[in-house]
Structure 1
Amino acid sequence: MLNISGKPENHSIEQKSIIFKTLKTPNAGKVLAKVLLSIAFIFFILLFFPWQQNIRGNGKVTAFNPVHRPQVVESVIAGRIEQWHISEGQYVEKGDTLLTISEVKDAYFDPQLLERTKQQIDAKEQSIAAKQEKSNALKQQIKALESMLEVKYTQAENKLKQVEYKLTSDSVDYEAEKVRFANQENIYERNKKRYDAGNIALTKFQELESKFFESRMKLISAENKFFQSKAELINAQVNLSGVKAEYLDKISKAKSELNNTDAQVFEAQGSLAKLNNQYANYETRSGFYVLTAPQAGYVVKALQVGVGETIKEDEPVVQIMPDNPDLAVEMYVNAMDVPLIEQGRKVRVEFDGWPALQFTGWPSVSVGTFGGVVRVIDRVNSPTGQFRILVTPDPEEEPWPEQLRIGSGTKGWVMLDDVAVWYEIWRQLNGFPPSLYEAPQEPILQGKEAKK
């Protein structure tokens, strides 16, 4: 029996080994697999690296102090341009003459306007002085009338007292004469009866009758004096009231004239104040014919051109950029990010025209960016709905370029806290805001405050 199965089996095994050898993995695939695995491993490791969160915003360069921002010089009064004393791009000091204008309103055409107004003021002052002298004279007259009233009233009172004393004396005399007359009448009546009876002589009766009529005459005389004293008392009382009324009338007329004079003085003083105000306005206006630089800086642009051109009140004439402004970045951020920003936060700034390579999560490896600090956060939003923040140079970082100009565009990143890379990727994919764990301890100060 032939053994025909051994050799073919060995041949089959050899063929299979050759096939497997031809189907083995090439070296390039192994390298690629290793590279991919390495990249995946590195990416996995990077997921746990720290990543500094940030808030991005765009803005422009400005001046932190409003005084250092571009200034527009306006004409306070309307006028006509007579002469320009500067050119665009020229450096001017504070107080340098920019241009001269002339008057265009007919109310101020008089070349001697100030002098004539001064003459009116002098005339008004002299008028006030004359009225004040008249007022002083009236005051003295009132004092004299009051003194005369006191004297005359005292005299009238004394006379009244004298009349009262005289009336008392006459009243006593009158009462005494009434008693004497009653006695004489009684004597006369008794002796008349005796005479009628023939007991006394006619001569004796006539003597008694004569005394009776004499006593009656004295009584009538005493009565007349008494009534005359009463009349004098009434006249003295009337005279006392008349003296007071007469002098009070004179004093009232003098006081009325004094008040009228004082009113004229006050009116003249008001007119004088108005003239002084008008003179001061004219004098101040004359100083507005020359427009001067409010501060040192460069003339940016003349907003009015030509000689003889008329400009209105409060119309811009020329723009000046102050020298050496304290630069800052005016950056706008979204409203949802404002609660995460505090004064003193670090900021990375990229200026237009400066090549930069910014790694937002790793600012230490960024190139071409400059450091800043948040100084101001607006309390209200802008018309676009974003909030403005002001960023000033970080004194601990490299100074900002000297070539920066106001208005240059910028990009900025407000640096927040450190998180893992995987957390930042997860936050970005879900659209969550950055996390805030701890606010800065104290805002970074600049300038003199930092030195202190």
Structure 2
Amino acid sequence: MLNISHNQLNKSVDITDSKSGKRVFHSNYYKYFNRFLGGSAILGFIILFLPWTQNITGRGNVTTLTPDQRPQTIQSQIPGRIEEWFVREGAFVKKGDTIIRISEVKTDYFDPKLVERTTKQRDAKALSVESYQGKVKANDVRISALISERRLKLEQAENKLIQAKYKVESDSIDLEAAKTAIKIAETKYNRADSLFKDGFTALKNVEDATVKLRETQAKLISQNNKLLASKNEVINAKVEISRVNVEFSDKISKAESDKFSAQSSQFDTEAQVTKLDNQVSNYKIRNGLLFVTAPYDGYINKVLVPGIGQTFKEGEKLVGIMPANVDLAVETFVSPIDLPLIHVGEKVRVQFDGWPAIVFRGWPNVSYGTYGAKVVAVENFITLSNGKFRVLLAPDEDDQKWPKDVRAGSGAFTMALLDDVPIWFELWRQLNGFPPNYYQPETATNKTAKKK
């Protein structure tokens, strides 16, 4: 009680002789308390030398090991209008199941018989290609015929040239004979004239020699004319050869020009056929895109463009989907000061949000509710605004399996296990703000070097 009066009870009443007073004010009470303090000090000193596993903690979330197993959204490759839904949120779909049926919104594709009509255009162009091919073949036959005719005409003209040359040679010989004959006739005339003047022969012999001379001269002139005519035939034969070459070269050139024109039209039409083939294939594929299907087995998460009759653009997100079969992983984040302590393949303990756990950070072996993991990837640069590096963890095959009901996106608490040190060293490190012991994990190469 408070001493609010001048009548003090403790001075007037002695409680040391009471039962409780004997127990409290006895000297043994201090002895027991001192023993308790001494035992606690000894126990605390012993605890300071117990092993403590250094660790790096971090917060993260559950994800998947490979990118193709992570939640994604389904988009349409073409713009359209929603006509019918075949699923609801939370439904399970198999790969290839139809999710949405859409319709066209572009006027270029409104025609329901677009593929059929485009196919007919392609077939008509294909027939045009065949016609041009026939025209090219006809021109090839025509060119071959002209080449054969030119060869025959040239042989005929060359034969005429040879005949003309032989005739020139024959007329030249006849001319030489005529020249010889006129010399003989002149000699006979001169001899008859001399004998007539000397009176040894009759005038009739002179006149006969004169007639013979005139006949021989006429034959010489005629033979000259024949020779000139023969030479003229040689020239005409050469002109004929040149004319045949020119005429048939012109005809063959014209036929080749028609052939090349037909080939050009053929190639142009073939290009149009190829373009129409491409359009037919595109239209068929586009018709298949009017049904949005599931890319794999999974669950529909959330519809992003609800309703019927709503339009959307190409590439716009329509619905979210989560794969049914995934390899779970955990992404956690560590500070830059702790990054040198993280290595691929190291052991990590993981506590999932929603699963009961009793965690002793320094003694992971006596913790309950944590699961084993190992480091599979360490980010080389900071990509997030939190200033930390991302570390990807996969389940440890040597430890117990992760809970099957864990879902991607759940939270997780991670502890990367480092060296074992005494508790006094860990307390000293924490008080001074030093990082955990830097170390390199032992590899096969390091172990071999140590043995040597």
Deviation at 1:243, TM superposition (A): 1.0
1:436–1:152 Cα change, 3 Å: same
CA contact (8 A) 1:92 1:298 kept: yes
**Partners of 1:439 and 1:311 in 2: how far apart?**
56
Moved more, 57-66 or 286-295: 57-66
Equivalent residue for 2:400, pick from 376, 398, 401? 398
Moved more, 80-89 or 358-367: 358-367
**Does residue 436 of structure 1 match 2:439?**
yes
Aligned to 2:325: 324
CA contact (8 A) 1:342 1:439 kept: no
Aligned to 2:90: 89
Aligned residue pairs, count: 418
1:78–1:57 Cα change, 3 Å: same
**Partners of 2:140 and 2:282 in 1: how far apart?**
37
CA contact (8 A) 1:345 1:440 kept: no
1:437–1:65 Cα change, 3 Å: closer
Query: Secondary structure at the residue paired with 2:289?
Result: helix
1:318–1:202 Cα change, 3 Å: same
**Partners of 1:338 and 1:147 in 2: how far apart?**
89
Moved more, 286-295 or 331-340: 331-340
Aligned to 2:45: 41
The root-mean-square deviation of aligned C-alpha atoms, in Å, is: 2.3
Query: Secondary structure at the residue paired with 2:49?
Result: helix
**Does residue 226 of structure 1 match 2:227?**
yes
Counterpart residue identity of residue 274, structure 2: A
What is the TM-score with the length of structure 1 in the denominator?
Answer: 0.86
Counterpart residue identity of residue 302, structure 1: V
Aligned to 2:409: 407
CA contact (8 A) 1:304 1:317 kept: yes
Deviation at 1:307, TM superposition (A): 0.7
Counterpart residue identity of residue 139, structure 1: D
Deviation at 1:309, TM superposition (A): 0.6
Unaligned runs of 5+ in 1: 1-21, 443-452
Aligned to 1:243: 244
1:401–1:343 Cα change, 3 Å: same
Moved more, 395-404 or 264-273: 395-404
Aligned to 1:65: 66
1:432–1:208 Cα change, 3 Å: same
Aligned to 1:368: 369
Deviation at 1:422, TM superposition (A): 4.5
CA contact (8 A) 1:85 1:98 kept: yes
CA contact (8 A) 2:142 2:255 kept: yes
Deviation at 1:126, TM superposition (A): 1.0
1:403-447, CA deviations, whole angstroms, 9 ceiling, x for partnerless residues? 2111111121222343444444455425345321434559xxxxx
**Does residue 188 of structure 1 match 2:195?**
no
Aligned to 1:104: 105
**Partners of 2:358 and 2:72 in 1: how far apart?**
35
Equivalent residue for 2:31, pick from 3, 27, 32? 27
Tell me the percent identity: 44
Aligned to 2:57: 56
CA contact (8 A) 2:337 2:435 kept: no
CA contact (8 A) 1:54 1:434 kept: no
1:108-154, CA deviations, whole angstroms, 9 ceiling, x for partnerless residues? 11121111111111111111111111111111111111111122112
Deviation at 1:199, TM superposition (A): 3.9
**Partners of 2:125 and 2:443 in 1: how far apart?**
69
**Partners of 1:226 and 1:352 in 2: how far apart?**
126
1:187–1:68 Cα change, 3 Å: same
Unaligned runs of 5+ in 2: 1-25, 446-452
